[in-house]
Amino acid sequence: MTDGAAMLLTGGAGRLGTELRALLGGVVAPGEEAMDITDPAAVAAVLDEHRPAMLIHAAAYTDVAGAETNRALCWRVNVEGTRNLVVEAMRRGIFFVHISTDYVFEGTTGGYAEDDPVGPVCNYYALTKLAAEAVVRVLPEHLVIRTSFRPRQWAHPAAFTDVYTSQDYVDVIAPMIAQVIRRAREIPHTTLHVATERKSAYDLARRRRPDVRPGSKREVAVRLPDDISLDVSRYRRLASQWRDA
Ligand SMILES: NC(=O)c1ccc[n+]([C@@H]2O[C@H](COP(=O)([O-])OP(=O)(O)OC[C@H]3O[C@@H](n4cnc5c(N)ncnc54)[C@H](OP(=O)(O)O)[C@@H]3O)[C@@H](O)[C@H]2O)c1
């Protein structure tokens, strides 16, 4: 018998997971073919094989528009998949780090703190992520990280001046999350917002695409929040303690 792995990551081939794999040395990251999280037997077998001390759950159905027409699949992956992992983590005493989203909030006033009331959510994807958080909270040892990120490059020719966010590029956010994961057991909270300062989507876009055009969310059919920004003061306090330590 070999020693168990320190960390097992789901969604390791995804946008965030790819960055986390590079940042967290030695993490085991079985892909969907090895561990489809909607298959309880596959989840149990992979955890038996690797016996991790910590599970980092970054796998999800993330196609926000697709979720509206593909609700059953979105629920199966985001809620039932999370439940399958939680059941096995509970049995084995595994510390659970769950990646969640700013979309659990309504997105009207912004500046949402960890303990602010969640909802009402504005789309089906957000509903499943909120339900997944509730599933994770049955575990005695867990950390829910609410975050939001973009690919490394701004992909669109325009960006909204009337949507406010604390999201950032994935190569900015992932190192912050990696540090939180390394410190997860010392964090005296079960929810942590990991993001940067409030800004418009347009201001964020200009940082990596100076020629991006200003646009308005009124130009698109989907409903978008006015201000989904997170209060990140809890994260900042912790990060400054870690810097000083
Ligand atoms: N992107 C954002 O702006 C954002 C914002 C806030 C929170 N989040 C959260 O952050 C996490 C990572 O998001 P992301 O943008 O990096 O996602 P992503 O690029 O869409 O990657 C999702 C990963 O989940 C895996 N996956 C999907 N269904 C699975 C299943 N049944 N079994 C096992 N693995 C499965 C995918 O594997 P395959 O590639 O093999 O399908 C992929 O590796 C998610 O929890 C998401 O909800 C994202």
For residue 1, the model assigns a pLDDT of 36
Q: Is 204 in the pocket of ligand 1 (CB under 6 A)?
A: no
For residue 221, the model assigns a pLDDT of 76
From CA 34, how far away is CA 111, in angstroms rounded? Answer: 39
Q: Is 88 in the pocket of ligand 1 (CB under 6 A)?
A: no
List the domains of the chain with CATH numbers.
7-244 (3.40.50.720)
For residue 245, the model assigns a pLDDT of 79
For residue 3, the model assigns a pLDDT of 65
Q: Write out pLDDT tens, residues 81-128.
A: 999 999 999 999 999 999 999 999 999 999 999 999 999 998 999 999
The pairing of beta strand 168-169 with beta strand 213-215:
unpaired
Low-confidence ranges of the chain (pLDDT < 70): 1-3
From 125, 164, 202, 235, active-site residue: 125
Report the 10 Å Cβ neighbour count for 131: 17
Q: In testing the pocket of ligand 1, which one of 9, 15, 62 has its CB within 8 Å of the most ligand atoms?
A: 62
β-sheet bridge partners, residue 28: 8
HSE toward the beta carbon, residue 228, CA cutoff 13 A: 25
For residue 224, the model assigns a pLDDT of 86
Burial environment of residue 193 by CB neighbours within 10 A (0 to 12, 13 to 18, 19 or more): buried
Closest CA to 140 of 82, 89, 193, 80: 89
